[in-house]
Structure 1
Amino acid sequence: MIRAGVVGASGWADNSHLPALTALEEFEVTAVATTNQASADRVAAAHGVRYAFATAGELVSHPEVDLVVVSVKASGHAAVIRAALDAGKHVVSEWPLGVDADEAEGLVEAATAAGVVHAVVLQGHHSPSARFVADLLADNRIGKLESVVLIAEGAPWGGDRIWPELVFGLDPAEGSNVLTIMAGHFLAALERVAGPLTEVSARLPRTHDRVLVAGTDRTVPNATPSHVLLHGVLADGATASVAVHGGNGPARYGFRLEFVGSAATLTATPVEPGSFIHWGDWEIRIGDEVLAVPDGYRTVPAGVRSGPPANIAALYQEVARAIAEGRQPHPSFETGLRQHRLLAAIERSAAEGAVQKVS
């Protein structure tokens, strides 16, 4: 049994990490931490957790915590991760790993030196739909892959209004915006299927210099992109065209993904309109034929097979196997660093107006 402690448990983790962990027999959630004792107590009571703390430090140092889950704002990831590594604890960090590639590289070095298991939450890597489509392409079901097209909604980032709790993300230094959060996840899912991008040419338009805080008459400055537009080349020579357009939400259609092969075209859209590519199931078609994802691709308990907990639970299953086998899971911090380097290449391309190689 792996004893997990969740830092930042009252936010995103409350509806994703905690349901995923409590559904898995490999884990026991022994502690939660938030920014105040009242919210920590509430989350602990709701999920049947023994210990509730008002600081990350108390959780990280607790002897009944083997694995620290980091689900705070991206700008706070590094401090909690380093504290966990110093305490010799395994770490699962939400995406983004850090605020930029340089910070992510430092975290990879620290995690390697600590000799613990480390993983980053890029749910698309464990999507049953993405894994099934990857196998269809590997089995030559559409012939040689020639191009990939992805159009996706990036709301709630990038619009002319922002929810009060997301205003912090309008500062690029926070590392949470339509490029890092939305495009970061979407591109990870695309690459899980089609392989890595090796070069990119990109634009990052900012159409709103100030945005309205929803529910108020106050506007605030914005220094982050509204949209992400890129063309790229994949490792096998196929091309990729991606448009992630921001907005105010809620999402209307979610995404459309096309894999154009020499013999046929495979399309994927969300089973539930508006669902993000890395969360929900895909409706998969080759031509007019609809293909259902075989049951063997679904490994998590039935109670967490939909919504945000589903692919996160599959990641935790991989983490449990990695701990038992003495290896690193996938995606690890190294995977997160590579994803940060992809985003850095996109930013350089947009700034310089030139094609960039992805290291």
Structure 2
Amino acid sequence: MAQPQQSEEAEVPPLRVGMVGYAFMGAAHSQGWRTVGRVFDLPRRPVLAAICGRDADAVRRAADRHGWAAAETDWRALIERDDVDLVDICTPGDSHAEIAVAALAAGKHVLCEKPLANTVEEAQVMTRAAEEAFGRGRFAMVAFNYRRVPATALARRMVAEGRLGTLRHVRVSYLQDWLVDPEFPLTWRLRREQAGSGSLGDLGAHIVDLAQYLAGESLAGVSALTETFVRERPLTGGAVKGLSAVSGTGTGQVTVDDAALFTGRFTSGALASFEATRYATGRKNSLRIELNGERGSLAFDLERLNELSYHDGTEPAAHAGFRRILVTEPDHPYLDAWWPPGHGLGYEHTFVHQARDLVHAIAEGRRPEPSFADGLQVQRVLAAVEESAEKNSVYTPIAV
């Protein structure tokens, strides 16, 4: 009698994932890990081994909802599990360094949400730990998911091919409005000790990384303004670590920025402008970036994330101008595994692509991108923005 064929799935070695955090980003990362192996052919098969959170009931519900096999209430216990190969960190910034360094020391791969840390010093410690772990065959990546939009990945390819020529300008904004109501409660995102910074770290980290990624070079210095528009907000009794109040009574101080506005200069001399705010009334999640070069321009709008605008400046003026590229073709980044041309993707697919790229990097033994060193460089830009704003400085160089 013929032996039953071993399934293809069984032949692919597993990559067992443990996640710390289960709220917004935890749900998004869960979607990525749960979906990636069903869409892409992978050299390792992601397995949702365990998820961790302080509230036992809530984390158990999250495990059941998102398909995790087990639940933990202590991240140290998660790291110690023999059935976890990779630790995915989706917690507030104040715990990133401690968890990441411990996980790497325990021989785990690490994926860490952005911004990498709350301070440059923490990011430096994490980067050193990642470098040491790389020598032992363990890999670390920071999660800047907007690199994984097919349109932005295509833009990077076009810039690298020289389609824009010498870069002159980058202008980028990230606008939200969820803090417009002054009665919105004080959450961890509004406290420096947990979040590190406000719109600057939450939104600014994304656009700094995206600008540098698309340009293919780093910022050399910045000049900045920041503002906190509402300085006290209602307490909600357990929303903010270290503050206590009966739900619905009392207020607490907002200790981060609400908006950041800064200009910058790239190492090549190209100029950049950045705006990050959570007070742009009517804007829910509006990220837009434009790059202008001597030979052409590219523009991307997250609210039209399947499109890229391109102007070829070498064409005759009689018929030149921005044209829409519908980024849904199978030879566009990531799209050979998805739907027929014209059938667009969404925000959640960036986390699928992120998981895909990390799995391939681990299996192939190469450094994932963006690395912790990339995350550290972004952290240095954020620190320079804060320094410039605090000192009312005309120009603050990026520390190296």
1:186 alignment partner in structure 2: 207
Q: Report whether the alignment pairs 1:108 with 2:127.
A: yes
Distance, in Å, in 2 between the alignment partners of 1:50 and 1:253 is 33
Stretch deviating more after TM superposition (248-257 or 322-331)? 248-257
Q: CA deviation at 1:292?
A: 1.9
Whole-Å separation in 1 of the counterparts to 2:209 and 2:57: 36
Cα deviation digits, residues 154-209 of structure 1 (max 9, x gap): 4435x453744x62222222225200110111121121111321111111123332
The number of equivalent residue pairs is 348
1:94 aligns with 2:113: yes
Q: 1:256 aligns with which of 275, 278, 288?
A: 288
For residues 258 and 113 of structure 1, do their structure 2 counterparts lie closer, same or farther at Cα, with a shift above 3 Å needed?
Answer: closer
- Name the residue aligned to 2:146: 124
| Structure 1: tracts of 5 or more residues without a match | 273-279
1:343 and 2:382 are equivalent in the alignment: yes
What does the per-residue CA deviation read over 1:11-47, in whole Å, with 9 as the maximum and x for residues that have no partner?
0244311110011223111111111221222122223
> Which residue of the partner structure matches residue 255 of structure 2?
223
Aligned residue identity for 1:181: D
- 2:314 aligned with 1:289, yes or no? no
Rounded Cα–Cα distance in structure 1 between residues aligned with 2:85 and 2:248: 43
Partner of 2:350: 311
CA RMSD of aligned residues (A): 2.6
Instruction: Say if 1:163 and 1:112 are closer, same or farther in 2 by CA, change over 3 A.
Output: farther
Letter in 1 for 2:334: T
Is the 1:160–1:248 contact (alpha carbons within 8 Å) kept by the matching residues of 2? no
Q: Which moved more, 1:215-224 or 1:55-64?
A: 215-224
Structure 2: gaps spanning 5 or more residues: 1-13, 38-44, 237-246, 312-320
After superposing the two structures, state which structure 1 stretch, 238-247 or 67-76, moved more: 238-247
Distance 1:203 1:30, change over 3 A: same
Alpha-carbon distance, 1:122 to partner: 1.0
Greater Rg, structure 1 or structure 2?
2
Q: Which amino acid aligns with 2:148?
A: H
For residue 168 of structure 1, what is the aligned residue in structure 2? 188
Structure 1 match to 2:166 = 144
Q: What percent identity do the matched residue pairs reach?
A: 25
Kept in 2: contact 1:2–1:66 (CA 8 A): yes
Alpha carbons of structure 1 residues 75 and 262: separation in structure 2 relative to 1, 3 Å: same
Amino acid at match of 1:310: H
The amino acid of 2:286's aligned partner reads: G
TM-score, normalised via structure 1 length:
0.87
- Asked if structure 2 preserves the Cα contact closer than 8 Å seen for 1:16 and 1:308, the reply is no
Return the letter of the residue paired with 1:319: L
The corresponding residue for 1:240 is 272
Number of the residue aligned with 1:6: 19
Does residue 1:329 correspond to 2:368, yes or no? yes
Question: Match for 2:221: what amino acid?
Answer: E
Alignment CA distance shift 1:47-1:197 (3 Å): same
1:282 Cα offset (Å): 4.3
**SS of the counterpart of 1:192?**
helix
TM-score, normalised relative to structure 2: 0.79
Amino acid at match of 2:394: A
Quickly say closer, same or farther: Cα 1:99–1:284, change in 2 above 3 A. Answer: same
